Amino acid sequence: MQESLFSFLGENLQLFLTYTGVYNATPGHFIMIAVGLIFIFLAIKYEFEPMLLIPIGFGILIGNIPFKDAGLQIGLYEQGSVLNILYQGVTSGWYPPLIFLGIGAMTDFSALISNPKLMLIGAAAQFGIFGAYVIALQMGFEPNQAGAIGIIGGADGPTAIFLSSKLAPELMGAIAISAYSYMALVPIIQPPFMRLLTTKKERVIRMKSPRVVSSTEKIMFPIIGLLLTCFLVPSGLPLLGMLFFGNLLKESGVTRRLAETARGPLIDTITILLGITVGASTQATQFLTMNSIKIFALGALSFIIATCAGVMFVKFFNIFLRNGNKINPLIGNAGVSAVPDSARISQIVGMEYDSTNYLLMHAMGPNVAGVIGSAVAAGILLGFLG
Amino acid sequence: MKTIRKKTGLLLLLTLIFTAGVQAQRVTSMRINEVLVINADNFVDDYGKRSGWVELFNTSAGTVNIGGCFLTDDRNNPKKYPIPKGDVLTRISPRQHALFWADGIASRGTFHVNFVFDPDKENYVAFYDTDGKTLVDEIVIPAGQKEDISYGRRVDGLEEWIYFTKVTPSTNNLTLDTNEKLDNFKINDSWGIGMTLSAMAVVFIGLFVLYVIFKQVAKLSIAASKIRAKKAGETVLSDGGDISGEVLAAISAALYELNEDVHDIERTVLTIQKVKRNYSPWSSKIYSLRENPRK
């Protein structure tokens, strides 16, 4: 009797052991857990995009807890599991447009409206996307995969997730992690190239103060912006539609509560869900591949190309502008979206050379134009390659 | 009163437009998609029998319930086969298919109609809405059909009808094993230069047009503000683009805060001293009562 009880308990214990994380762990799981911990460390210690890196970092930990595939419906990729249900917002692409709604409701386009020529900088910086696309093709990626990788250069996490979920879902985890990592590393990546491509004289150019923009102009902007961009690139509708809708909620002045919800609780909720599920999607077996390493390299390249394209475009543009109307090329980097970090970089680098030259407001122009530009670029890629 | 009438009219109009949109997601979205008249050595039904079949396709992005609609092979009898209501299988998912067996034995189930095809002459099939009057779709299958070759739309839901030697019951008529778009890009634009140039051109055009429009809007806005200021008897600044002192002060304060963005870590002290609190909102009645709605 006792013997059978002990053997029964022993068998059960053995079975239980096969279910533990320790039993199912592989070196890949530990590598990914280390990556997650690095993300959390960077977010807390250096405050690199903490709102994103903490959910993503913790998501990586969640996604890399090893377990036995026994149909317990616990893993992100198991249909019907809680994580899987939350992940549907990513796979079916409805988290990013909701984030764009919030971004629209919190973005002030005044800087852009007061000096509309800054929009062109936002367009020029999108060269990073297509530069990376060209290189990705040469590295052997399929055109749809190259398009999804290239969008990292747009420096816009939701856009990157939206496009990659449509064009190359198999690469989405690596693309999202890469995009958010480099967005967090904007303060490290951009300044050397900004200094390299500008002269001391150019760095101290003072720009005219932006004029006060009327509320009518602010209301007209999202309406005209939507009609124009979406008539041109209808495939950008999910992102641009929500971006401009959010902005109209903000600027109309009569939907304050809706705007506050969109830029507050709604975007926070979606950011949490998006971050945690994207992080959890990076399971070692899916993520630790040569393609991921290539994507990280391409992501860095796309950021560099975008920064250089923005700065160089301003220098080129200045040739045609009269003295007094010239643009400080240090705001060229801000065309890569990454709102508002890249605009802050313009300000910080600018102040190194002239402590009374405030570029932040000017840099916000190309910065928000970059958001529009990257969404348009995503629409084009989706239209061509989807 | 007039305003109320106007509002009611507007509401009715919107309701009409909205319901018209809803209708588009209903049975009117169904299409007869593929028909096999002579089933000699092909797909078998649940009873292991072979017979002709009709495939319907839901062209919409919403689920459509075809329960209560009608299938017929007789122009004079639109209600010949009423599709039973209450069967969960008659809810056709978006872009999905439903297959009906033309075996003439309706007692075999929802998807067995009470007519058969005549292999010697042309056959007519129609699908009617639940009222039995509204024709949703119809097709005449030419006479002289061959065994195991179906007649269907080249692409699901589209107009062109062709013969299929490879029949596709309950699935897409056109299945792709390659992506034509991507293949074209691979062949014609292997370096990605064409894509880069065309896409950058589109991005630039989009933002350039936006720039042109808002340049003009800005001019109009400045002119309008000058006129308003003149009317009000205010002095117009030579440079209308100046920012007010308060805004500049706010920006400066924000920049100062940015530069001083270092948090003080305050010392925390653990104490056991009891905090005296005579009043607690938990015990207050006012928080548990609803306020009267304000008009």
pLDDT at B21 over 50: no
Inspect the interface and report whether the beta carbons of A384 and B185 lie closer than 8 Å. yes
Q: At CB < 8 A and 24+ separation, what contacts does A29-38 make? A: A29/A64, A29/A65, A29/A66, A29/A284, A31/A284, A31/A288, A32/A60, A32/A63, A32/A64, A32/A282, A32/A283, A32/A284, A32/A287, A32/A288, A33/A60, A33/A61, A33/A64, A35/A60, A35/A282, A36/A60, A36/A61, A36/A64, A36/A279, A37/A61
Segment B110-121 mean pLDDT: 92
**For B116-133, what is the HEC assignment?**
ECCCCCCEEEEEECCCCC
Give the type of residue at A371. V
**Chain A residues inside the 8 Å CB shell of B200:** 123, 126-127, 130
Q: How confident is the model at residue B252 (pLDDT cuts 50, 70, 90)?
A: confident
What is the model's pLDDT at position A310? 94
Q: How far apart are the first and last CA of chain A?
A: 66
Query: A81 Cβ partners below 8 Å, 6+ apart?
Result: A73, A74, A75
Rounded to whole angstroms, the Cα distance separating B136 from B29 reads: 8
pLDDT at B236 over 60: no
What is the model's pLDDT at position B292? 61
| pTM across the whole model | 0.70
**Chain B residues inside the 8 Å CB shell of A233:** 202, 206
Which residue, A223, A255, A258, A214, is CA-closest to A241? A223
Model confidence over B146-159: pLDDT tens digits? 899 999 999 888 88
Inspect the interface and report whether the beta carbons of B211 and A119 lie closer than 8 Å. yes
Is any Cβ of chain B less than 8 angstroms from the Cβ of A213?
yes
Residue B256, judged by CB atoms within 10 A of its CB (0-12, 13-18, 19+), counts as: exposed
Rounded to whole angstroms, the Cα distance separating B46 from B105 reads: 13
Segment B259-285 mean pLDDT: 60
Better pLDDT: B234 or A126: A126
What is the model's pLDDT at position A157? 85
Cβ B59 vs Cβ B92: under 8 Å: no
Grouped pLDDT means (10 residues each) for chain A, 386 residues: 81 88 89 93 87 91 86 82 91 90 91 90 93 93 93 88 90 88 87 94 89 90 93 90 95 93 94 92 84 91 94 94 90 87 91 89 90 91 88
Chain B positions touching chain A (beta carbons under 8 Å): 179, 181-182, 185-186, 189-193, 195-196, 198-200, 202-211, 213-215, 217-218, 221-222, 224-225, 240-244, 247-248, 251-252, 255, 258
**Chain B residues inside the 8 Å CB shell of A347:** 255, 258
Copy the structure tokens of residue B17.
């437009």
Copy the structure tokens of residue B251.
């920006």
Domain borders along chain A are: 94-385
Q: Which residue of B has its CA nearest to A214?
A: B221
ipTM of the complex: 0.86
Cβ A105 vs Cβ A259: under 8 Å: yes
What is the model's pLDDT at position B69? 93
Model confidence over B79-93: pLDDT tens digits? 999 999 989 999 999
Q: What is the DSSP letter of A63?
A: H
Rounded to whole angstroms, the Cα distance separating A258 from A266 reads: 10
SS3 A118: helix
What is the model's pLDDT at position A303? 92
Inspect the interface and report whether the beta carbons of B196 and A347 lie closer than 8 Å. no
Q: What mean pLDDT value characterizes chain B? A: 81
Q: Which residue of A has its CA nearest to B185?
A: A143
Find the range with the poorest average confidence among A32-41, B113-122, B261-270: B261-270
Better pLDDT: B289 or A320: A320
Segment B167-172 mean pLDDT: 88
Give the type of residue at A330. L
Better pLDDT: B240 or A377: A377
Q: What is the crossing angle of helices A157-167 and A95-106, to 10°? A: 160
Q: How far apart are the first and last CA of chain B?
A: 20
Model confidence over B22-45: pLDDT tens digits? 444 578 899 999 999 999 888 888
